[in-house]
Amino acid sequence: MSPVNLGNRQDAQNWVDLAAAIEGRIDVLYNNAAAMRVGAIDVVSYEDWDFTMRNEIDLVFTVIKRAWRHLQRKGGVIINIASIAATHSPKAVSATAHNTAKGAIVSLSRALAVEGGPHNIRVVCISPGIIETPVTAPALTKEGIREMWLSRNLLQRIGEPKDVAAAALFLASDYASFITGINLVVDGGFTAS
């Protein structure tokens, strides 16, 4: 499949339909796409707010809504990626819109778990802490930022993409067949400290 702009509702719907047509069904929907603009309430613009909502919560809703009818046929799993920003706001980053959108993803996941239960659709959420990716790596080089995360992470390291992937693989598997409606925090202990 070629790249798709999930921030465009029609493109997102077409992408889901194409995936279902190619595979014949949808078993697991993994919502990890996002794009945000950061800033505190006094500096975030309406344009930045709208951009973040469109690219962090609206696209998740659009993809799930389109995939729902496919998942209703035989059941399946929806895994939504939120963030510890849904419940914790580190002083190092002012991200009003991002934090709000991630909180909405946690809430949406819980609501859809209730709706999905009768259809054997499990809906779960993963809230990562700091994970070193091409997006976060530049911020981690700023003075004091890496140290701030390490001082609060009980496991004394920055997370890696494989940490989140392992959690997602478990939640998508039959080993997690009795798990729905949860928000699994994968943060090295940041939110516990």
User: What are the tens digits of pLDDT across the range 142-172?
Assistant: 888 899 889 989 999 999 999 999 999 999 9
Q: Which tens digit of pLDDT belongs to each residue from 105-130? A: 999 999 999 999 999 999 999 999 99
pLDDT band at 135 (very low <50, low <70, confident <90, very high): confident
Per the rule left: phi > 0, alpha: psi between -120 and 50, beta: everything else, 175 is: alpha
Residue boundaries of the structural domains of the chain? 9-192
Q: Give the Cα separation of 31 and 35 in Å (integer).
A: 12
- pLDDT of 5 above 80: yes
pTM listed for this prediction: 0.93
How many other CB atoms are there within 10 angstroms of residue 151's CB atom? 11
CATH topology of domain 9-192: Rossmann fold (3.40.50)
- The rounded percent of the chain whose pLDDT value lies above 90 is 73
Please determine, for residue 174, whether its predicted confidence score (pLDDT) is greater than 90: yes
